[in-house]
Amino acid sequence: MKNDNCIFCKIANGEISSATVYEDGNFRVILDMGPASKGHALLIPKEHFKDLCELDDSVAEKVLPVCRKVGEAMKKSLGCAGFNLVQNNGEEAGQTVFHFHVHIIPRYAGGPKIVSWTPGSETPEALEETAGKIRAAL
């Protein structure tokens, strides 16, 4: 299903042009217009899902193989040393476009840190308590 008010629905289905690097029946992969590094791409499903929680399993299982294909092509063609996959769910997590997408971000030797955090510290007991809460909700 498409959402008429969604820009990524229009891009994924070709109604708005984009720098496309890959397309199949389920996805379009385009270059991000505000790239974190050269070649920063977005994998966008052609169907509208708000985020990972809404994504159909039949589409979800095809996401990683396409990300791998594009990441490997980036390494061959752009000379990046590796790549990050970033996928934001919810405003507090940094999501700004509410149509599921995965960022595929090339990483170059000597390039800036793009995805990082300052490690905190937790006791083993606190880790186990938190793990128990998540397990109970699965």
Which of 2, 3, 22, 32 lies at the binding interface for ligand AMP (CB under 6 A)? Answer: 32
Let me know: does 116 contact 36? Beta carbons within 8 Å: no
Q: Which among 46-54, 89-97, 112-120, 125-133 is the span making contact with Zn ion, rule CB under 5 A?
A: 46-54
Q: For residue 106, with 0-12 CB atoms within 10 Å meaning exposed, 13-18 middle and 19 or more buried, which class applies?
A: buried
32 binds, among Zn ion, ligand AMP, none (CB under 5 to 8 A by kind): ligand AMP
Q: Please list every residue from 70 through 129 that binds Zn ion, using CB under 5 A.
A: 99
Compute the distance between CA of residue 32 and CA of residue 12 in angstroms, rounded to an integer: 13
Instruction: Give 105 or 131: the residue with its C-beta nearer to ligand AMP.
Output: 105
Let me know: does 15 contact 30? Beta carbons within 8 Å: no
Which residue, 26, 99, 21, is CA-closest to 58? 26
Q: Which of 40, 48, 99, 101 is catalytic?
A: 101
Q: Would you call 101 a catalytic residue per the annotation?
A: yes
Let me know: does 40 contact 31? Beta carbons within 8 Å: yes
Under the rule (CB under 5 A), what is the footprint of Zn ion? 3, 6, 8-9, 48, 99
Query: Which amino acids are annotated catalytic?
Result: 101
Under the rule (CB under 6 A), what is the footprint of ligand AMP? 7, 18, 30, 32-34, 42, 88, 94-97
